[in-house]
């Protein structure tokens, strides 16, 4: 896919092409593409005079960056001890049944991506998942499927508008 870099260039200009702004630059780029594409990393490398390996080092060190496409709705399921004991395996199974997703993957239509994480810091609400920053707790398989169906319905309605 041939990519146009106007938006990337706007971000670079906004931050003055300064190395100390690399994390901010990468975060804004990821907001546009939902991940950090290789060709964009190479463009940033050339524009900023930073070796691509250095940019990859930053992108792989910080958990908020992804080198693989993420869905419009990023689902994170906690599998820490409290969540695991309270039923996170059933939450993951319900997500797979509803979307076909397993951890670390994205749906073909880029609607959903799923990550299994060690702890989300909401143990009192176990089991927990977060979708685009919104926390859902005390989950059951049925609740998970209902949440995902509502998101799908909302997307269908907005597509028909």
Residue 82 annotated as binding site: no
Contacts with 100 (C-beta within 8 Å, 6 or more apart), sequence order: 107
Q: What is the 3-state secondary structure (H, E, C) of 121-160?
A: CCHHHCCCEEECCEEECCCCHHHHHHHHHHHHHHHHHHHC
Nearest-CA neighbor of 15 among 63, 48, 45, 49? 48
Residue 119 annotated as binding site: yes
Residue 93 annotated as binding site: no
Residue 155 annotated as binding site: no
- What 3-state class would DSSP assign to 105? strand
For residues 23 and 28, what is the distance between their CA atoms, to the nearest angstrom?
9
CB neighbourhood size of 134 (10 A): 9
Contacts with 103 (C-beta within 8 Å, 6 or more apart), sequence order: 77, 92, 114, 115, 116
Annotated binding site: 78, 83, 119, 123
Annotated binding site for [2Fe-2S] cluster: 78, 83, 119, 123
């Amino acid at each position: 896919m041939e990519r146009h870099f106007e938006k990337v260039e706007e971000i670079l200009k906004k931050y003055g092409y300064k190395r100390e702004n690399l994390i901010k630059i990468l975060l804004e780029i990821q907001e546009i593409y939902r991940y950090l594409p290789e060709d964009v990393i190479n463009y940033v490398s050339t524009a900023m005079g930073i070796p691509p390996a250095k940019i990859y080092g930053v992108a792989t060190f910080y958990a908020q960056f992804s080198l693989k496409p993420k869905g419009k709705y990023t689902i994170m399921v906690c599998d820490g001890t409290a969540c695991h004991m309270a039923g996170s395996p059933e939450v993951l199974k319900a997500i797979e049944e509803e979307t076909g997703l397993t951890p670390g993957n994205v749906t073909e239509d880029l609607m959903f991506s799923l990550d299994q994480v060690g702890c989300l810091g909401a143990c009192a609400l176990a089991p927990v998942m977060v979708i685009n920053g919104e926390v859902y707790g005390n989950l059951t398989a049925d609740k998970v499927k209902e949440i995902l169906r509502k998101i799908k319905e909302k997307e269908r309605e907005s597509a028909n508008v």
